[in-house]
């Protein structure tokens, strides 16, 4: 790898402005151009940081490709990306890693395949895979030695990391609620990964309660802790709300620092490229995807209880 890691930012679909924000966090950005970003929240949380501090040393997004060719020059101008390419495969041979920046978990294999087959490490935007076919392929690629990472920024949100005083206040956890807007398929991983580090692996069952407004998933864990995850389509203002209930007390948490959640996520990938050590085991990500798929299956089956182990056994 080159002294400064060269990254390609690839793909942008409706409702997801990561090429703007992730590239800007890594490269720094042009405030006047970033102000034109169609996702209004991005210039707001970027602008809360001292401009000179917005940068991840040792890496740079050097290439950009977007699904709509008209978007790429705008992202390039805002996030200081040198090269716009006509096709995503054009970056092969010119970068050290690729970032698949779309959050459609049923279309990531197609997008990642050229880079994985070329031996290029990839970061996959959450959720990595929401179908068994996609999940099986990523597991096979990983077994074959491909370097793959997929996480939610909620894993790195400062507000979700408990200190010793908070843990003592809670006692032993008994119930967790975690909330996201949009859909279970697309955003459920945010609500799930915000709290999974508190519990570790060992999800047992998922049961969906659903209506036209969204889904509420009831989840059990081998620790005995129960989780209730809401994914309600239009409740944007409540995104990132978590409540922990323990034997001694309860604790509400709320995402407020989006910038550092994303920065931590990107730093983890860049550190992995340099050290060869992933920030979490790949089978932990696989289990999280199995929970998402179990929720989809439960909903399709009218709210039956689905065993996560049954999903994992199908891989």
Query: In this predicted model, what pLDDT tens digit does every residue of 2-30 receive, in sequence order?
Result: 589 999 999 999 999 999 999 999 999 99
Residue 1 has pLDDT above 80, yes or no: no
* pLDDT tens digits, one per residue of 190-202: 999 999 999 999 9
Residues 98 and 49 in one domain: yes
Specify the number of domains making up the chain: 2
Per DSSP (E only), the strands in 17-147 are 59-65, 83-84, 97-100, 122-124
Residues 175 and 133 in one domain: no
* CATH number assigned to the domain comprising residue 264: 3.40.50.720
Q: The domain containing residue 192 runs over which residues?
A: 158-256+289-313
| 94, 6 Cβ separation under 8 angstroms | yes
User: What's the mean pLDDT in 128-151?
Assistant: 98
Residue 127: is the preceding peptide bond cis (ω within 30°)? yes
Residues 184 and 137 in one domain: no
User: What's the mean pLDDT in 251-274?
Assistant: 98
Distance (Å, rounded) from C-alpha 127 to C-alpha 120?
20
* CATH number assigned to the domain comprising residue 162: 3.30.360.10
Residues 94 and 199 in one domain: no
Distance (Å, rounded) from C-alpha 8 to C-alpha 62?
6
The token pair at 77 is 């101008």
pTM of the model: 0.96
Residues 220 and 271 in one domain: no
Residues 275 and 295 in one domain: no
Residues 80 and 32 in one domain: yes
Residues 140 and 217 in one domain: no
* pLDDT tens digits, one per residue of 221-262: 999 999 999 999 999 999 999 999 999 999 999 999 999 999
**pLDDT value of position 2:** 53
Under DSSP, is residue 210 helix (H, G, I), strand (E, B) or coil? strand
**Percent of the chain residues past pLDDT 90, beyond the cut:** 99
**Sheet with 250-254, side-by-side order of all strands:** 250-254, 241-246, 173-181, 226-232, 214-221, 203-211, 305-307
Distance (Å, rounded) from C-alpha 72 to C-alpha 52?
24
**Percent of the chain residues past pLDDT 70, beyond the cut:** 99
């Amino acid at each position: 790898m080159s002294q400064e890691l060269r990254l390609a930012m690839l793909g942008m679909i409706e409702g997801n402005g990561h090429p703007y924000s992730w590239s800007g966090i890594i490269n720094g950005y042009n405030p006047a151009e970033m102000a034109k970003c169609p996702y209004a929240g991005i210039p707001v949380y970027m602008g809360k940081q001292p401009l000179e501090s917005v940068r991840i040393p040792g890496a740079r997004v050097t290439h950009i490709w977007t699904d709509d060719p008209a978007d790429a020059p705008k992202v390039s101008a805002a996030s200081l990306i040198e090269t716009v390419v006509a096709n995503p495969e054009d970056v092969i041979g010119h970068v050290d890693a690729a970032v698949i920046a779309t959050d459609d978990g049923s279309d990531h294999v197609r997008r990642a395949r050229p880079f994985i087959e070329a031996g290029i490490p990839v970061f996959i935007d959450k959720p990595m895979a929401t179908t068994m076919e996609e999940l099986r392929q990523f597991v096979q690629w990983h077994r074959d030695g491909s370097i793959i990472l997929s996480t939610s920024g909620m894993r790195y949100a400062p507000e979700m990391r408990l200190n010793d005083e908070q843990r003592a206040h809670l006692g032993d956890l008994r119930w967790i609620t975690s909330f996201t807007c949009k859909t279970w398929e697309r955003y459920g991983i945010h609500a799930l990964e915000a709290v999974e580090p508190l519990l570790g692996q060992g999800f047992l069952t998922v049961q969906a309660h659903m209506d036209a407004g969204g889904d509420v998933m009831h989840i059990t864990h081998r620790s005995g802790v129960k989780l209730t995850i809401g994914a309600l389509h239009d409740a944007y203002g409540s995104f990132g709300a978590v409540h922990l209930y323990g034997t001694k007390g309860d604790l509400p948490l709320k995402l407020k620092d989006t910038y550092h959640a994303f920065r931590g996520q990107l730093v983890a990938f860049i550190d992995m490229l340099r050290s060869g050590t992933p920030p979490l085991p790949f089978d932990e990500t696989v289990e999280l995807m199995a929970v998402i798929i179990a929720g989809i299956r439960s909903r399709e089956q009218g709210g039956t209880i689905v065993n996560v182990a049954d999903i994992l056994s199908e891989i």
